[in-house]
Structure 1
């Protein structure tokens, strides 16, 4: 049988967690390019790992730390590549 703590935890995850996440996601899409926002979805697992380490005293292996750093580096590279100006192709006007 669910306890009051379980129900409050589920309400927190459903209303605050999901609601705030969707609000921020769609706000980001309205202000940024979709390719930039789509890369940010890769932060979710790393954020969960770091929050578990900070608040739940979970231990991190070297492989997990390397994985989080690889994801952050990949996001940085992806965002950086979106900012580089594209070469323009000169077009001639037809006579």
Structure 2
């Protein structure tokens, strides 16, 4: 399970569209692993690690993680790819935090 933000979803900033499956990192991982593995994409634009964003309701990654895992159960491996959106100015956080 690849759980992340717009980097996982495959957001293209210039067009606000989505990269093709084979260009997104979970798609590249699927190709490398082959058909004996199923890579599940769970990327959402603007998702944070633990912050409730008043401009993007429901994007707190911690809040949705357990229901997401239960939805896709059984899962062998989880890759968390979050943190980029935590650096938005409104959260007043540094890279170190």
Greater helix fraction, Structure 1 or Structure 2: 1
Q: TM-score range by the shorter chain?
A: 0.3 to 0.5
Structure possessing the higher radius of gyration over alpha carbons: 1
Instruction: Give the TM-score normalised by structure 2.
Output: 0.34
Higher normalized contact order (CA 8 Å, seq sep 6+, divided by chain length): 2
More strand by share: 2
